[in-house]
Structure 1
Amino acid sequence: MVPELSVVIPMYNEQEVLPLLVERLRPLLDGMGVRYEVVAVDDGSSDLTAALLQRYHREWPALRVVRLRANAGHQAAISAGLVSALGDYVVTLDADLQDPPEVIPQMLAAAKDDGVDVVYGVRNDRSTDTWFKRASAQAFYRLITVMSQTKAHADAGDFRLMSRATVDAINSLPEHNRVLRFIVPALGFPSDTVEYKRDERAAGTSKYPLIKMIRLSLDSLTGFSTAPLRMATFAGLGGAVIAVLLFLYTLIARSQGHTVAGWTSTVAIVSAFGAVQLVCVGILGEYIGRMYAHMQGRPTYFIAYDSLTAGHGDHGPTDTPLPANPAEGRIREPALDAERTKVSAPGR
């Protein structure tokens, strides 16, 4: 049976918080009265996360385990979960329980009642975050909005509910290094919001240090806006204009017999232009790097195991590939297949 709801949860070294997650999530979903599946994507964990997922998979039939061969990153793990999910509605949720799963029923109700394709979880209280994280997030989202004209809520992360049409649209995109918190708003599908209070991490440590946040910011900026490239162009044009004016000034000064002695101004000018050139080369390098990765066409993740396709009683890794089209992976009722066989059989 095709599930009505899929919950995609990327995980990386979450052995400490995983029992707490299952303890809160399973009774909640069981009480919703809908067919559901939980797609847990193990993003190449090096601790006991994989073993715990296999144990919970045996005890909880609705839990699917998708294991990546190597750590591919948070956004890539979510993308793998979206490709694997079969539900009519898909929720993406982090495993750290900072985004409460108890909001999922409210999201599903909002999507059905309002007829929208996306329901964003918006944090109305981020007191658990540091002031630096709050301030940097606000400034970054404003910068993205101005440069790319893509409106993404500053307090909405990766906790969202999406319809099957939205998920299929995302899966059809050829883009690598995608940042879903900007891709989903860029699609322009009808949306709604549900507010909640952001909690502290239930257990374990954060898997998103400052360096990963910087990389995510660069991917977001270069993936959704050509403004930095245009800034480099404008800086180059401005530098050329200034260079021409300085050249004319030196010609006039020489014709009038004035001599300008001083190496400070020369060093300052050369340094300024050198700095502008380096910045421009760095920005161009970001775009060239993205073009190079796209031309290579390398997948951002490799699935090593999926409990749905592994077969009954098989709890070990397998290389069985998932269908390229998520719709082809949906499970049909055997009775319906049998009826179709009877109708299509010759002589009947």
Structure 2
Amino acid sequence: MSCVPRLSVVVPVFNEEDVLPLFADRIRPVLDDLAVPYEVLAVDDGSRDATPAVLELMRRRWPQLRVVRLRRNSGHQNALTAGLHRARGQYVVSIDVDLQDPPEVIGEMLRLAETDGLDVVHGVRADRSSDSAFKRGTAGLYYRLVRRVVGAEVPPNAGDFRLLSRTAVDALTGLPEHRPVYRLLVPWLGLPSGEVTYTRERRAAGRSKYPLGKMIRLALDSFTGFSAAPLRVATWLGCAGIVLCMMLAAAGLAAHLWGTVVPGWTSILVAIVFLGALQLLCLGLLGEYVARIFTTLQGRPDYVVAADSAVQETRDYAGVR
């Protein structure tokens, strides 16, 4: 591809050997019909199955497919960062490979951005009936809390399926952000944006690469990376604990003055357990912020690129500073 593509599609991939052929069969006709120069940048996030071999076979039959391979598994958001840093298109779309986000919406995103002069077009899930009740419930709670803590500009039910202009991509890649959460970073930029709604589909094949543990990690990164509110919560919990202890002390003193026998071990045990849990919670919240500071001071790259099929000479490349 000698010319600069009009559109780049960034696709983080991790152990997706089953769904990759289905993804290619569905997205390639959509992109070909757009009649604009494009590239599909598949970022292999240290896959341990046959994903690298499948990508290589696909690349031989699909000239617009470009494969970037990371040396180790760095996480979905860091793989997305690697793709954004290397995407060359005037517009960049990020989409997951599982086909839960329909590729057919990409054309609508591009037309909306070009017609209205938008830098960001969010893909918003209008219908999530394909997700489990637990997933819908936790997602709804996450977005409600995020909008309250971070700001109402965060679109509800908007994940990492979005279109970015070159201006937005350059702004994002210029941020010295560790452990980025793009569903919050992108609205934070304050660029002209729009929305395209769609129905979320079931995963086409394979298993989800976002289990409960990674969902909790994403939520923690969202709150600790964008707000000091959790620290203030710890402060208010400490104040509430002090008030409660003072009330218990006053009740114990009043019982003593009235000659009522107060069972000692129960009240002591409850107070110790309550205060101990409160202290551990506050220390845990504080530790999350300290860990972010520690990671930043280490200065290690969030990802390391092992190979890029668009570069003739394979070389290591340190990602985010």
TM-score range, shorter chain: over 0.9
Structure 1 residues 266 and 260, CA gap change in structure 2 (3 angstroms): farther
Q: Deviations over 1:91-110 (max 9, x none)?
A: 00111111111111100000
Distance in 2 of aligned mates of 1:146 and 1:163: 27
Please give the residue correspondences for 1:1-348 in structure 2 after superposition, counting only pairs within 5 Å.
Answer: 1-243=3-245, 261-263=262-264, 264-310=266-312, 318-321=314-317
Q: Which amino acid aligns with 1:160?
A: R
CA distance in 1, matches of 2:42, 2:173: 18
Deviates more, 1:16-25 or 1:259-268: 259-268
2:93 & 2:72 partners in 1: Cα distance?
A: 24
8 Å contact from structure 2 (residues 303, 318) kept in 1:
no
1:57: Cα distance to partner? Answer: 1.8
1:76-95 deviation digits (Å, cap 9, x = unpaired): 11111000101111000111
Instruction: Report the equivalent of 1:343.
Output: none
Name structure 2 gaps, 5 residues minimum.
none
CA distance in structure 2 between the aligned counterparts of 1:253 and 1:52, rounded to whole angstroms: 75
TM-score w.r.t. the length of structure 1 is: 0.85
Residue 162 (structure 1) shift? 0.5
Distance 1:75 1:150, change over 3 A: farther
Deviation sequence 1:202-246 (CA, Å, 0-9, x none): 111111111111111111121122111001112223333444565
Range 241-250 or range 282-291, more displaced: 241-250
Counterpart contact for 1:9–1:93, Cα < 8 Å: yes
Between stretches 150-159 and 272-281, larger displacement belongs to 150-159
- Deviation sequence 1:45-85 (CA, Å, 0-9, x none): 11111112122222222111100001111111111100010
Structure 2 match to 1:345: none
Q: Deviations over 1:18-37 (max 9, x none)?
A: 11111122222122111111
1:148 and 1:227 in contact (8 A); partners too: no
**Partner of 1:340 in structure 2?**
none
Q: Would you say the 8 A contact 1:158–1:180 is kept in 2?
A: yes
Unaligned runs of 5+ in 1: 312-317, 326-348
TM-aligned CA deviation for residue 266 of structure 1:
2.3
Q: Deviations over 1:233-266 (max 9, x none)?
A: 1222333344456567767887x69575321222
The one-letter code of the counterpart of 1:283 is L
Q: Distance in 1 between matches of 2:35 and 2:146?
A: 40
* Letter aligned with residue 199 of structure 1: E
CA distance in 2, matches of 1:209, 1:215: 10
Q: Residue deviations 1:108-154, cap 9 Å, x none?
A: 00001111111011112211111111111111110111122253223
How far did residue 275 of structure 1 move? 1.6
- One-letter code of the match for 2:25? E
Identity of aligned residues (%): 53
**Partners in 2 of 1:235 and 1:223 — Cα distance?**
21
Residue by residue over 1:274-308, the C-alpha shift from the partner in whole angstroms, topping out at 9 and shown as x without a partner, is 22111111111111111111111211111000011
Tell me the distance in 1 between the aligned counterparts of 2:267 and 2:101. 56
* Larger Rg over CA atoms: 1
Q: Name the CA shift for 1:125/1:244 in 2 (closer, same or farther; >3 Å).
A: closer
**Equivalent pair of 2:301/2:319 in contact (CA under 8 Å):** no
3-state DSSP class of the match of 2:198? Answer: strand
Amino acid at match of 1:181: R
Q: TM-score, normalised by structure 2?
A: 0.92
d(CA) in 1 for partners of 2:263 and 2:252?
14
**Distance in 1, Cα, partners of 2:244 & 2:138:** 34
Q: Distance in 2 between matches of 1:197 and 1:156?
A: 12
Secondary structure of 2:161's aligned partner: strand
Q: Is the 8 A contact 1:150 1:186 kept in 2?
A: no
Paired amino acid for 1:231: V
Q: Which amino acid aligns with 1:162?
A: L
C-alpha contact (below 8 Å) 1:10/1:74 kept by paired residues: yes
The secondary structure found in structure 2 opposite 1:124 is: strand
